[in-house]
């Protein structure tokens, strides 16, 4: 076989002018084009990207927060927010303009309003249910309709586009049951309950929403009552003293076991932030996921920090410690070991059965306060679920 000469070999390896045939001239890269400029009186961002998950309703859900600020010199009203596929510009999900005013919370306020004053910041708590995962785009953006007294150009209304964000498609943990038995109520669960999903906290100079996907499990008896007997006695409640199980193999990274039971019926006064979860356990289950269990009985927490636990191990008993109004088991998953200074992450249960649906949060609150039977919706049927999230006010059965 003929070998290439030295000059030919160099020409084969180097792209230079003058070796054999002349090379094509290098194409120059056009300079970047500056984007068109538009004054946007409302600025916004998504600080923690949405993570799609499947709920017990069979839908795929996106739950996240849109942080906004009024940069005009007058009052500004957010009339509507539409979620768009950033690539196509098409709207995804159904707009819920009628309830928008109940989703916008000015910074530091517990009262919702979609009217922002000059310089005022707020959080819009977003929830987008979709028919299936295939409808979830790679990136979202938001079309916002505004009215105001100081809009640019002397207008009284304006539409702008803000807050592009990628969708986080991390693999979610599939957990086993934290409890065993029938008629557990998934109270204050995802996705529009007013308490957990909107419990944003300013801690150490940063905003966290560790309870974004939290749920409070209470239990009804055979007459659908949450307690029978003295409402001030924790032992009167159906769930009190039930065993709490590890939902996955993990390492214990936080516990407390010395806080007393609270008297049911009212929240304790002046409780410190370090006592809010009562007697608790935090499990590191790997891949950046941590599980928090809260409000267990004093002295019932079994593992210590550093212990390894196996899925199904008993880790404590349901109680009423910490910031609690009635005995229950609080569960949420987060991205760090602190029960509060972390971001809440979605999670799925490997198997559960829904046997009913409590009519509303108000109905649940009345049953918890007075002992009347839970009112259930008429159209709920018994359904088995696999790899889905328990949603707000589901009545569920967990088996071993």
pTM for this one? 0.89
Torsions phi, psi of 173, nearest 5?
Answer: -75, 145
In this chain, the answer to whether the domains covering 42-166 and 174-267+274-398 adopt an identical fold is no
In this structure, the dihedral spanned by the alpha carbons of residues 380, 225, 227 and 270, taken in order and rounded to 10 degrees, is 50
Look at the domain 42-166 and name its fold. Immunoglobulin-like (2.60.40)
Output the six-digit token pair for 361.
Answer: 């949060």
Distance CA 186, CA 295 (A): 15
**In the chain, how long is the greatest CA-to-CA distance?**
101
Q: Has domain 174-267+274-398 been given CATH number 3.30.70.3270?
A: no
Confidence of residue 20 (pLDDT cuts 50, 70, 90): very low
Predicted local distance difference test score (pLDDT) of residue 51:
98
Output the six-digit token pair for 155.
Answer: 């207008």
Question: pLDDT for 245-296, tens place per residue?
Answer: 999 999 999 999 999 999 999 999 989 999 999 999 999 999 999 999 999 9
Confidence of residue 25 (pLDDT cuts 50, 70, 90): low
Cα four-point dihedral sign 384, 194, 254, 233: negative
SS3 275: helix
Please give the average per-residue pLDDT across 1-8, as a whole number: 39
Going by the DSSP 8-state scheme, the letter that residue 261 receives in this structure is: B
Output the six-digit token pair for 106.
Answer: 């000015």
Beta strands 348-349 and 174-175 are parallel
Output the six-digit token pair for 385.
Answer: 């679920």
Please give the average per-residue pLDDT across 63-86, as a whole number: 96
Beta strands 76-85 and 139-148 are antiparallel
All structural domains of the chain with their residue ranges: 42-166, 174-267+274-398
């Amino acid at each position: 076989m003929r070998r290439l000469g030295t000059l030919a070999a160099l020409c084969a390896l180097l792209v230079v002018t003058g070796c054999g045939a002349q090379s094509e001239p290098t194409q120059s890269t056009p300079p970047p084009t500056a984007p068109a400029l538009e004054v946007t009186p409302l600025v916004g961002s998504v600080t923690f990207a949405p993570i799609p998950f499947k709920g017990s309703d069979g839908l795929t859900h996106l739950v996240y927060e849109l942080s906004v600020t009024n940069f005009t010199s007058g009052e500004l009203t957010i009339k509507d927010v539409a979620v768009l596929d950033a690539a196509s510009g098409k709207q995804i999900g159904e707009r819920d303009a009628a309830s928008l005013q109940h989703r916008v919370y000015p910074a530091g306020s517990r009262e919702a309003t979609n009217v922002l004053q000059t310089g005022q910041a707020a959080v819009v708590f977003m929830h987008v249910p979709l028919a299936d995962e295939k409808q979830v785009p790679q990136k979202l953006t938001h079309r916002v309709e505004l009215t105001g007294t100081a809009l640019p150009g002397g207008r009284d209304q304006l539409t702008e586009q803000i807050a592009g964000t990628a969708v986080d498609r991390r693999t979610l943990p599939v957990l086993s049951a934290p409890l065993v038995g029938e008629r557990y109520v998934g109270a204050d669960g995802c996705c529009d309950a007013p308490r957990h999903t909107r419990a944003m906290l300013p801690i150490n100079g940063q905003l966290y929403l560790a309870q974004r996907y939290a749920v409070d499990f209470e239990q009804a008896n055979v007459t659908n009552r949450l307690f029978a007997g003295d409402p001030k006695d924790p032992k009167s409640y159906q769930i009190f003293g039930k065993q709490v199980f590890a939902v996955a193999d993990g390492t214990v990274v936080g516990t407390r076991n010395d806080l007393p039971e609270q008297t049911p019926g009212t929240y304790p006064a002046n409780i410190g932030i370090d006592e809010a979860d009562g007697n608790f356990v935090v499990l590191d289950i790997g891949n950046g996921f941590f599980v928090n269990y809260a409000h267990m009985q004093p002295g019932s927490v079994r593992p210590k920090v550093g212990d390894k636990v196996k899925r199904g191990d008993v880790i404590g008993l349901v109680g009423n410690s910490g910031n609690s109004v009635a005995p229950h088991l609080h569960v949420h998953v987060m991205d760090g070991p602190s029960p509060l200074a972390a971001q809440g992450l979605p999670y799925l249960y490997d198997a559960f059965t829904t046997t009913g649906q409590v009519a509303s949060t108000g109905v649940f609150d009345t049953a918890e306060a007075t002992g009347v039977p839970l009112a259930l919706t008429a159209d709920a049927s018994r359904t088995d679920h696999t790899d889905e999230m328990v949603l707000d006010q589901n009545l569920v059965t967990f088996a071993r």
